Amino acid sequence: MNTETGRVEAFSDGVFAIAITLLILEIKIPKPSDGALGNQLLRQWPSYFAFLISFAFIGVMWINHHRLFTHIKRCNNTLMVLNLLLLLGVTIVPFPTAVLATHIGFSDQRTAALLYNGVYVFIAIIFNLLWRYAVSRNHHLLGKDVDKENVGRISKQYAFGPLLYLFCAALAWISVPASLGANVLLATFFAIPPSHASKIVRGAGTE
């Protein structure tokens, strides 16, 4: 691990690990006094669903964070502040996940979905700011042997992230299931290595 960014990466990994672990706390252990165990387990399906998609989203964020820091070899105060803002978004995720699990299927599910999407819009913006700051000023925080082609692919993959997550939020006004489905598709796209993502984008553009 690079000594200059090592503490940033280690601290970030710890925050990701804690946030992804906290998600399971929303799934409650059924009590014998509340009725048949099978029925209670089935009634908790919104919690299972919210847990699985948020687990996947945090996992994808961790993958992308790792990808960025394979290129970022130096850090300064600004980069550390941006990284802390990113981690702020990550630590918030369990809260909107719990809200979504509680309200999905009820009258306030749109508000819950908007809150859920809003957190990911914030994270997408900070991801972009962190990466674009790192590659600014002639790649001053990147390694000497930086792969500029791959750096360019990452920048292109991230470019429309905030707008796409805003679209997911707007979609929640029309259909909450469609909004959450779009979020899953976006997370899948950002989990794909930049080299493959660029091929997908080019292929879509030629159709």
131 touches 150 (CB < 8 A): no
Q: How many domains does the chain fold into?
A: 1
Measured CA to CA, the distance from residue 45 to residue 199 in angstroms comes to 36
Domain interval for residue 174: 3-206
pTM of the model: 0.86
Long-range Cβ contacts of 50-55 (<8 Å, 24+ apart) = 50/26, 50/97, 50/98, 50/100, 50/101, 50/104, 51/23, 51/24, 51/26, 51/27, 51/97, 51/101, 53/180, 53/183, 53/184, 53/187, 54/23, 54/93, 54/94, 54/97, 55/20, 55/23
Measured CA to CA, the distance from residue 128 to residue 68 in angstroms comes to 11
Residues 106-129 pLDDT 10s? 899 999 999 999 999 999 999 999
Residues 189-200 pLDDT 10s? 888 877 655 555
151 touches 71 (CB < 8 A): yes
Residues 136-151 pLDDT 10s? 865 567 766 667 777 7
